[in-house]
Structure 1
Amino acid sequence: MLELNKQQTLSFHSELYKLIPQDHLLIRIHQLIDFSFILDFVQGHYNLFYGRRAKDPEMLFRLIFIQKLYNLSDERVIEETKVNLAYKWFVGLNPEDPLPDPSLLSLFRVHKIGAGEVENLLTEVVKQCVAKGLIKSSAVLIDATHTHSKYEASKPLQVLKQAANRLQRAVKKHNSKLLKQLPKMPEFEGEIREQEKQALAYLAHLGETVEELLPDAEGQVQSRLEETKKIVSDERLLAWKGVQSAIDPDARFGWKSATTSFFGYKESIAMTEDGIITAIKVEPGNVSDPKAFPELMKHTSETGLVVEEVLADKAYGSFTNLKLLERDGITPTIQLNEMMLYGHQDEHRDKFVYHKDSETVECPAGQHSIRKAKMGPKDGNECQRLTFFFDVEKCKDCPLQEGCYKPGAKSKTYSVPIIPEFKQKAVEYHNSEAFKQRYRMRYKIEQKNHELKNHHGLANSQYSRGLIGMRIQAVLTAIVVNAKRMVKLASPKMA
């Protein structure tokens, strides 16, 4: 039963709160952010009329906020709040009031916050920031960072055995009598690849048996069944390129550079030039950066922020992303890669001459193309190419055919990209001095990534439950660093 248990009257001991300095960070944050949005977010996951009285969701959320702000564990934040007046005032309790058990914080994160679209919490905070007029810039910076999984990667055979053991333990905890009805793990024989195939078949059979015995499984059994299905259905597992942890099956290997890899997750971040994170998307470590771009822009627009410029590195300079920005009238201060700048380069590019009057191409031997056609996808997500066709019979006898015409080929063509206006504009801007000046501002988001990882624990995953837990951690961390930044923006001398 959801019943708000915030103090309506102050106790005698609340006089102690007068000792807290009025410029304390938590007091400033309380003055700037209305945390009541958490009530609407989690209310649907409580029974409003039956059951035990629930702890106030806003109080629990504020405890988790303190935890992320000072990078504390569940146990440590409860212990610290017992003796820290500022902490206890911030969560809305009297000095003598008891605090919840640390395990309640984990349950609240997973079953209440994790049950909804957690990114909406960040959107609500940014909306308040926009409403207060704290954001002055119309430019958004986009970049990606990474988080190491707190679990080590394992070889496929280890993953399969661990998953089977975890599922059996969950069934035993639920009903120990059912354990006898589960197929026992056999001794796997043969070469390592053969053993992996046997282990995969056993895990699949074990999962099916558990589902038959517990068709309405929930809680830990259901969670372990979901892990099992994810592992069994991963076609890349035995190639050592898919799931590599039974405990964290969503984590993947990604690359920080051409020579350095990591095992975990990738966070794509959108941030205003003022330093406010407007959107964050968490994905497994092997996902490419550009895919997150449209969703980051969508969530940013939902905050009410008007975006006029986007600054990003060349990972985001795809045809589709540039087209999206052109549609919305947004300046793309994005480093373009060679393919976007010049397109596919034919080795004979300088030897073929285009005649605009006749709309033909002349080859090095002086022959003109006989027809032309537009080639490539028509969905507008890639450049089409204008392809010119030559008389292949003349190519067969051409003295310059070496390196140009392959004997036996049925056609000889020469293609040039059809450059859309928005791409031409992007290329011209990319080569300008104004672009160079603005692009230097990207250091700001690199500083923000450093703050997230080194001051608030985003360097390593802290919660279990794979991708869901990582999304919760990343969003809560973003909310905390936004709150700190809002305090500085509200005090010009500090910003």
Structure 2
Amino acid sequence: MLKKNRPQLDMFDHVIFEKLVPKDHLLIKIDSIIDFSFIYDLVKDQYSPIGRGSKDPVMLVKIFLLEYLYRLSDVEVVKRIQTDIVFRWFLNLGINDTVPDDTTLSFFRVQRLTEEHFEAFFTEIVKKCIEKDLIRSNRFIIDSTDVAANVNYPSIKKLARIAFNKVIQAVAEFNELLATEIAAAIESELDLAYEKSEKFSWREHFEITQKYLDKLYIKTYDELQYNPKYLDAFGLCYDLLDQYTNNKKDKIVSIVDPDARVAHKSPGNVKKGYKDHIIIDEDSEIILASSQTPFNVGDGKKLKELLQKTETQVGLKPKELSADKVYGETENRAFLKDNTIISNIAFYEESSSENNYFKMKDFVFSDDFKTVTCPNGKSTEFFKIKHDKVNNRDMKDFQFDVKDCSQCPLIEQCIYRYKNGKYQYKNKRVTVYLRYDAVITDKARVTTPEFTIAYNKRYKIERRFATMVRNHGLRRCRYIRLRGAKIHITMANLACNIVRMVSLLFPPTKNLKI
């Protein structure tokens, strides 16, 4: 049953708080600008209408906030509350009131709340920023940063061994004899393989593991139909073997945290874990919306989602959007154009051509995207719409007149000639995405001084990431799986926003106590 913590503070408590709580303390300022009672409505469905009274959910969420404001664990924050008078004041606890223990905090976070609840807490804080007129909606900035998973990453062989051992442990719970038999058999075969060759490959290791996994499938088929714990362990091991054997892109890299993923952020720079995708208001630097994904999810795939979340959750739509080049997919540019949002997204340099062939930039498209003119000044309006099955995109295929191309003095730079002397095409084709009109608009935009000014302001979002890493523990997840990563990252975003609110609403002072 939901219970609100409303203790009757005695005169002694009031005197202590009045004497010892600094008036310019960060928590005093937070309490003066944010009413956390909205939490009751957001969590009330998680409680039974009858039963023993619970700990006050507002107090518990405030404790989570304290953890991210001061980079404390569940155990550490409980100890700090016991001795820190300002923490007690912030939580509305009297001097003699008992403090929730760390197991209560863990139960509340894991059993009572979902990642959607933490997302709702974050959204309410953004709404309060809007109510206080902190957000201008002139220009938003979007970007992402990596957040390491809270695990180690074993070798491929060890990964398979750990996964299969998890299966054996699950089997032992309902058939200990079978588990012992299979475990001994696979260990014996692996040991023998290593004795025969020191260069025993991970593929051979996987083949042996797959053989014994298949045996378990046959012998425990019925158990797999109704034992969810065993099914999860078996499925995880099966997926792992399948992903590496068939060289799939989306590979499991940890058995402890099977949702974490690995990707190359840049050549030689490998990242493993998750991403925090955020969109901020350039003027206030308030984080307006966020999305958490495994690290191998491309940044560009989240542009549309973040803009839509910002509009649907808090009713904000920017006039302009600034982002790194990686967000410059044609679909994203088209989405921005269709929604009348000015794009401040740069372009990658076109690759150089050893044979000095013309590039896309050498062809001029009309503003209405109905005509294209070649470097020789010839234009065409003839095109066909084709579907690119590889990229699942519609393409616009412009074709020039055969006579014009055959008599063109620039043909050697335009149409590729094979070694046998024949040309690749009878006439030149220029194939672009069907929504290349958005690219044309953006290419004109990048030549303006307004673009340069906006693009150079992207450092503000990097400053938010740096603040969260330095002050709010963003760099490494506290919890495992994607659910845990979402909770951890959302709380870091929320804490960052609250501190930013304080900075905007109160004049900065040199002696701010935190």
Task: Give me the TM-score of the superposition, normalised by structure 2.
Answer: 0.80
1:434 to 422, 443, 450: 450
- CA distance in 2 between counterparts of 1:293 and 1:143 reads 9
Q: CA deviation at 1:17?
A: 1.9
**2:39–2:121: 8 Å Cα contact kept in structure 1?**
yes
- CA distance in 1 between counterparts of 2:308 and 2:499 reads 24
Of stretches 180-189 and 296-305 in structure 1, the one that deviates more from structure 2 is 180-189
**Corresponding residue for residue 98 of structure 2:** 98
Aligned amino acid, residue 237 of structure 1: Y
Aligned amino acid, residue 415 of structure 1: R
- CA distance in 1 between counterparts of 2:374 and 2:29 reads 72
**CA spacing shift, 1:324–1:229, aligned 2, 3 Å:** same
Q: CA deviation at 1:294?
A: 0.9
Q: CA deviation at 1:80?
A: 0.5
1:328 to 2:336 alignment: no
- CA distance in 1 between counterparts of 2:302 and 2:477 reads 20
Q: Which runs of 5+ in 2 are unaligned?
A: 194-199
Percent same amino acid at aligned positions?
28
1:252 to 2:253 alignment: no
- CA distance in 2 between counterparts of 1:243 and 1:336 reads 33
1:447 to 2:463 alignment: yes
- CA distance in 1 between counterparts of 2:505 and 2:380 reads 68
Aligned amino acid, residue 479 of structure 2: Y
Q: CA deviation at 1:447?
A: 0.9
1:233 to 235, 239, 260: 239
Q: Deviations over 1:218-242 (max 9, x none)?
A: 7xx48xx546524423542334861
2:252 to 240, 243, 247: 243
Q: CA deviation at 1:262?
A: 1.7
**CA spacing shift, 1:318–1:214, aligned 2, 3 Å:** closer
2:475 to 412, 435, 459: 459
**CA spacing shift, 1:102–1:203, aligned 2, 3 Å:** farther
**Corresponding residue for residue 486 of structure 1:** 501
Alignment of 1:77-96 (within 5 A): 77-96=77-96
Of stretches 425-434 and 149-158 in structure 1, the one that deviates more from structure 2 is 149-158
RMSD: 3.9
Instruction: Specify the SS of the correspondent of 1:256.
Output: strand
**CA spacing shift, 1:210–1:138, aligned 2, 3 Å:** farther
Q: Deviations over 1:179-223 (max 9, x none)?
A: 4454632224444312213324545765897884486657xx48x
**CA spacing shift, 1:75–1:209, aligned 2, 3 Å:** farther
**2:274–2:294: 8 Å Cα contact kept in structure 1?**
yes
**1:231–1:249: 8 Å Cα contact kept in structure 2?**
no
Aligned amino acid, residue 194 of structure 1: E
Aligned amino acid, residue 453 of structure 1: V
**Corresponding residue for residue 29 of structure 2:** 28
State the aligned residue count. Answer: 474
1:184 to 2:191 alignment: no
**2:162–2:255: 8 Å Cα contact kept in structure 1?**
yes
**CA spacing shift, 1:72–1:208, aligned 2, 3 Å:** farther
1:477 to 485, 492, 514: 492
Instruction: Specify the SS of the correspondent of 1:116.
Output: helix
1:261 to 2:270 alignment: yes
Q: CA deviation at 1:389?
A: 6.1
2:426 to 409, 412, 422: 412
Aligned amino acid, residue 89 of structure 1: W
**CA spacing shift, 1:23–1:382, aligned 2, 3 Å:** farther
Q: Deviations over 1:54-78 (max 9, x none)?
A: 3222211111110011001111011
Q: CA deviation at 1:272?
A: 1.0
**Corresponding residue for residue 4 of structure 1:** 3
1:315 to 326, 330, 348: 326
**CA spacing shift, 1:195–1:436, aligned 2, 3 Å:** same
Q: Which runs of 5+ in 1 are unaligned?
A: none
Aligned amino acid, residue 429 of structure 2: S
